[in-house]
Amino acid sequence: MRVLVTPDYRTLSEEAAALVARAVRAKPDITLGLPTGSTPLGMYEELIRKHRHEGLDFSRVRTFNLDEYLGLAPDDPQSYHAYMHARFFDHVNIAVDNTRIPDGSPGVDANAKCGRYEDAIRNAGGIDLLIVGIGSNGHIAFNEPGSSFESRTRVVTLAPETIENAKRHFPGDADIPMSAITIGIRTILDARRILLLASGSGKAEAVERTLRDPVSESVPASALRLHPDVIAILDESARRR
C-alpha cells in the first residue's frame, strides 16, 4: 500500500479529487466505487468544482455506492441515497441511470437484492477505482471486524461503535438503523484500484492497525494490504496515534 500523508483535510480532499479526476479523464466511461460519511465530503466538493471550472465530464461515468442503511427509503434525508444526491450527483453531469446504490427501503427483500448488486457490478465490467473511508474500529464500507475477506454484498448488523458514531448524523429523535447492506471485502478487493481516505485523530488508531498489525479479519481495512494497487491518503492527524 502506498501512503501519502497530507498536512490537512483540505489537501487530502484536493489530492483525492485530483487522483479521481485523472482516472476519469484517462477513462471517461470509468466505473467508480463511491463512499459516504464525512471524510469524502471535501473530495466531492472539489470534484464538483473541477466539473464546473475545468470541464471534468461525468456523462459516461458509472458508479456503485459501497453501502446503505437498511430500513431507510431513498428519500429519507439520512439515507446514503439522499447524501449522494445532495453532496455530489445533483451537482455534476452524471446520468442518474448510471448510478447505483444498494436499496435499503423498508419492505424490500434486501437479501435477494444483494446478489443482483454483485451481478450489476460484474455486468458493468467491474469497478475500476474504488474510494473507501475507514471506521474508527477499522471497518471498510460496513464490513465490521470479523467480516470474512471472502464476503460479498450482504445484509450486516452494525457494530455498537458504528451506531454510536452514526448518532451525530441523525436528528435526536430519529431511529438509527441497526443493520445495513454493504458490498463485501472480496467485492472491494476485486476493484482494480483502491483509494483509502482517513482524516482526523479519531482514525489514527485504526490507520495504525491497518498499516502495521498482522493482516486479519479483526481489522477489516488490513485486507487492503492484500491488494496490489492501493493508495492511502491520510492527513497528519490520522497518521499519528
Note the residues at the interface with ligand GLP (CB under 6 A).
35-39, 66-67, 133-135, 141-142, 162
Nearer of residues 13 and 39 to ligand GLP, judged by Cβ: 39
Q: How far is the CB of 166 from ligand GLP (least distance, A)?
A: 7
Question: 15 catalytic, yes or no?
Answer: no
The least CB distance from residue 69 to ligand GLP, in Å, is 9
Q: Between residues 36 and 153, which has the closer beta carbon with respect to ligand GLP?
A: 36
Nearer to ligand GLP, 25 or 193 (CB): 193
Q: Which residue out of 118, 144, 190, 235 is catalytically annotated?
A: 144
What does the H/E/C string look like for the chain?
CEEEEECCHHHHHHHHHHHHHHHHHHCCCCEEEECCCCCCHHHHHHHHHHHHHHCCCCCCCEEEECEEECCCCCCCCCCHHHHHHHHCHHHCCCCHHHEECCCCCCCCCHHHHHHHHHHHHHHCCCCCEEEECCCCCCCECCECCCCCCCCCCEEEECCHHHHHHHHHHCCCCCCCCCEEEECCHHHHHCCCEEEEEECCHHHHHHHHHHHHCCCCCCCHHHHHHHCCCEEEEEEHHHHCC
Q: C-beta of 55: minimal distance to ligand GLP in Å?
A: 29
Is 137 designated active site?
A: yes
Q: State the residue for C-alpha cell 451506531.
A: 163
Looking at 67, 103, 128, 235, which residue is catalytic?
Answer: 67
Q: Given the residues 46, 103, 128, 139, select the one marked as catalytic.
A: 139
**Catalytic member of 65, 137, 143, 165:** 137
With respect to ligand GLP, which residue has the nearer C-beta, 58 or 69?
A: 69
Give whole-number Cα distances, 21 to 25, 30, 188, in Å: 6, 11, 20
**Nearest residue (CB) to ligand GLP, 71 versus 133:** 133
Question: Closest separation between CB of residue 38 and ligand GLP, Å?
Answer: 4
Q: How is residue 184 written as a grid cell?
A: 463485501
Query: Is 14 designated active site?
Result: no
Residue 53 beta carbon to ligand GLP: minimum distance, rounded to whole angstroms: 26
Q: 208 an active-site residue?
A: no
Question: What is the set of active-site residues?
Answer: 67, 137, 139, 144
